[in-house]
Amino acid sequence: MSRLAGKVAVVTGASKGIGAAIAQQLAAEGAAVVVNYASSKAGADAVVASITAKGGKAIAVQGDVSKPAEIEKLFAETQAAYGKVDVLVNNAGIYEFGPLEAITPEHFHKQFNLNVLGLLLTTQAAVKLMGPEGGSVINISSLVGPMPSPTASVYSSTKAAVDAITVSLAGELGPRGIRVNSLNPGLIETEGVHAAGFIGSDFHKHIEKTTPLGRIGQPGDIATVAAFLASSDAGWVTGQTLIAAGGARQ
């Protein structure tokens, strides 16, 4: 399949998990991919190696997208390598849960600086490299944006903000042919979810029991939807929040 042939895609936070799966899927469909990472060079290099081993094109570029100077560097290196951007996947993010009494300014700003401000500044930089043919911005949000979870008031609010930004920017950038959509996963089995102790927990069992499709998601479940949103198959889709959660209702 080559519906993204000739396209250049930047995927933030792509050294593992959902971001890695999206980078690999976009490359499999013909895009040249910039695999962005904040600290895991080994992980990003492994994703690039997996892409190039299959004949795809990819480079790894370091950049913490909560830091404006590193966003600038990310897109300078992207422009030097590929000359343009057609697809931006804003996947980089952080989640920390805690009850109301545990919320601190540090807890708040750590999540908002990356999940919201970083996303805005990354999009700002990316659209400067999108040509007259337009492009696609895909914001990886979360089921807890429209369906907030207890003890996740700050994280849920960052993802609600992402969904609001998506609608606003779709209206603003539409005249330039740039589509903007949110892709909102439910619980996905990633390295981070394992590290957090969710797999095998009562929470995991509850999600499986209450999800109509009877399981939690895999990174590939999100990657294939992202590829659709990146492609011309979704050419009439913008300003939408697409929930990919197996029918789960948090």
Q: At a CB cut-off of 8 Å and minimum separation 6, what does 78 contact? A: 8, 10, 34, 61, 85, 129
95 is catalytic: no
220: Cα within 13 Å, side-chain hemisphere = 1
- Contact predicate 207/198, CB 8 Å: no
Q: Measure the CA–CA gap between 161 and 213, rounded to whole angstroms.
A: 28
Q: Which of 37, 82, 95, 155 is catalytic?
A: 155
Residue 242 phi, psi dihedral angles, 5° rounding: -105, 110
Q: At a CB cut-off of 8 Å and minimum separation 6, what does 152 contact? A: 95, 97, 144
Q: How far is CA 156 from CA 10, 43, 70, 98, 152, in A?
A: 25, 27, 26, 11, 6
CB burial string 6-36: b at 16+ within 10 A, e below = ebbbbbbbbbbbbbbbbbbbbbbbbbbbbbb
Q: CA Rg, the chain, in Å?
A: 17
**Residues that are catalytic:** 155
